Amino acid sequence: MTTYPIVFIWRKVEIVDIDGVALKQLAMVPLPRYQNVAKRQFGEGGEYTLEQVAERSMASHNAYFAAINEGFKNLPEKIAARWPSPTHMRKWILCETNWFDEKEFDLTSEKQAKALATFIRTEDEYARIALRGTKVVVRKARSQSFAAMGKADFEASKRDVLDLLESMVDVPKGTLMREAGMSA
């Protein structure tokens, strides 16, 4: 079963004990729009671990993607043709900066390996696929979506991507975010 994040509020509620006595206690109560999801995901009386997630700033998120687009538009001519879109470039840079998941497939023939690599390419145009004899190595950039990456990982991956991109376009660190902030 897929689980979804649920927003709760920590507040006092009345809880009636087995003898019918109402007591006020603090409890995590799902916001109304999350109640049906909470009912599906949690069983009454179950024990669950609660972890606080630091919210990411939408402004920071948007400025980052604007900076990626700015960097893409300013790539030197000799490397600009390498990536057809800012998304291709960003995912390539994520892999270059170790923000990827990797899978290896060891097959029995080179023909099978080539067929698998071709299939993977049809399923994911951004994957980095390496053929090594009968082995296929697939690297997929980690998603930087709000759901997939918390604030700390997003900030670290953002910094790594922008550092490499700024070196590629030969501008001082911080330039792309500054420029994106001005144009955003």
User: Of 182 and 8, which is predicted with more confidence?
Assistant: 8
pLDDT tens, residue by residue, 51-65: 766 667 788 888 999
Q: Residue 22 belongs to what H/E stretch?
A: strand 22-30
**Residue 183: pLDDT over 60:** no
List the domain boundaries for the chain: 1-52, 58-183
Lowest mean pLDDT among 27-31, 51-55, 129-133, 154-158: 51-55
pLDDT value at residue 141: 96
Mean pLDDT, the chain, rounded, equals: 90
Phi, psi of 11 (to 5 degrees): -150, 165
User: Of 80 and 59, which is predicted with more confidence?
Assistant: 80
How confident is the model over 31-35, as a mean pLDDT? Answer: 89
pLDDT value at residue 54: 63
pLDDT tens, residue by residue, 103-128: 999 999 999 999 999 999 999 999 99
pTM listed for this prediction: 0.70
Given pLDDT bands bounded at 50, 70 and 90, which one contains residue 184? very low
Three-state SS for 98-133 is CCEEEEEEECCCHHHHHHHHHHHHHHCCCCEEEEEC
CA 108/CA 79 separation, integer angstroms: 36
Distance of CA 12 to the CA centre of its chain: 35
pLDDT value at residue 126: 94
pLDDT value at residue 59: 82
**Residue 2: pLDDT over 80:** no
Asked whether the CA dihedral 109, 110, 111, 114 is positive or negative, the reply is: positive
* Of 130, 149, 184, nearest in space to 5 by CA: 149
**Residue 79: pLDDT over 80:** yes
**Residue 172: pLDDT over 80:** yes
Tell me which long-range contacts 32-41 makes (C-beta under 8 A, separation of at least 24). Answer: 34/6, 34/7, 34/8, 37/4, 37/6, 38/6, 40/1, 41/1, 41/3, 41/4, 41/6
**Residue 5: pLDDT over 90:** no
CA 107/CA 140 separation, integer angstroms: 20
